[in-house]
Structure 1
């Protein structure tokens, strides 16, 4: 399969029309339309992931977070993002990102999270069309003490720590989730009559507002909700017989 054919398959499954206005999903750097023998799948385009692509003779880097969010005014060697452009182009590598379109798409990241957490009767929190696409997800679990479900979430998301903010009710049954940063959805969650919201990157004041409003929270590190992008996209690429290399990079540690 050629690079452009694979990109067509990605956009057919996870349409760019689903991305948020602020986003820049899609082609980041268009390289030659080569036969794909290896694709690097990663959350972020970094100098290390570019090095791995070169080492493995990959023709494409497929990332979750876009390489470019803002227009470039110049290309200088001092900036790490701009510095990556030279080796990418010189080694004929294409860079493609599937971000909020992958989050919102049916069978995309939020559905993967729903499956991980064994949610039932799952629907988009904010519906975008009649085909199952939308922002966030709402589903149901067996009614249980919230402390029991917190441990289940840590196990299923393979996370050794979370922020746990329980509201007055100690039982949960109806759950809302949003991969990555979910603060923009907080008002929609509060009006959706759910018991618990699972997301990343909520501030102290947002947590306080939610709990005082009767909504329990599990706040997971941003990348801990998004790391399943790599496995999901690897399965997608492998379904077309494309070889993949997973490159997962972590930039911080909890001490």
Structure 2
């Protein structure tokens, strides 16, 4: 097992009886959603407010034979928990806003690869799809506030790509925002299990941006343009070129064509 070096967390976990892989694996927690049964195995996520932290919420991901292939592991693959732990540790080391990883472990039991990942919930934040749902019901915020939110999301996505990473599942439900009392938007990215360093940065970033573009149908053309400007696409001509690429991918998808 790998553990975070934080005495508060260590003591809180010990008080809960979570001291090793087996105790975490057997933890009785309600699932936050239906277990994911793919990749030849399963994955489930539980949630708990952990006393003594104070009042912080943790998520416990547990999975069996839930693998993903990579250059490091091209044949058998590795657990998605292992990849996510590695990504979270590396990104937090450079100050990038992702959830705090607390513990990670793997074991082979009866021939099956079992893995778990314990991480802290992003405090006081909601996913972008929740914000959009609220805005569509209650009315969109004033332009200045909305533009600040778009700029904040764009800046974080742009920084991730400049670090050489692809998110791999850049959907609004994986983009978390907190609006502070002074009106500043703080953005974090979650579910980094599909994220990876890539040498094909142009193609990787286009796939991320295309995924985000497809899943924000309520955004107007001007809002998408603003996002690409805030993302750091370069000159106005560069922004126009990237906007065109995304528009063409969307058009091909509508016509039923393939999008690589």
Alignment TM class, shorter chain as reference = under 0.3
Structure richer in helix, relative to its length: 2
Comparing both chains, which one has the higher relative contact order based on Cα–Cα distances under 8 Å and sequence gaps of 6 or more?
Answer: 1
Q: Given the two structures, how large is their TM-score scaled by the length of structure 1?
A: 0.24
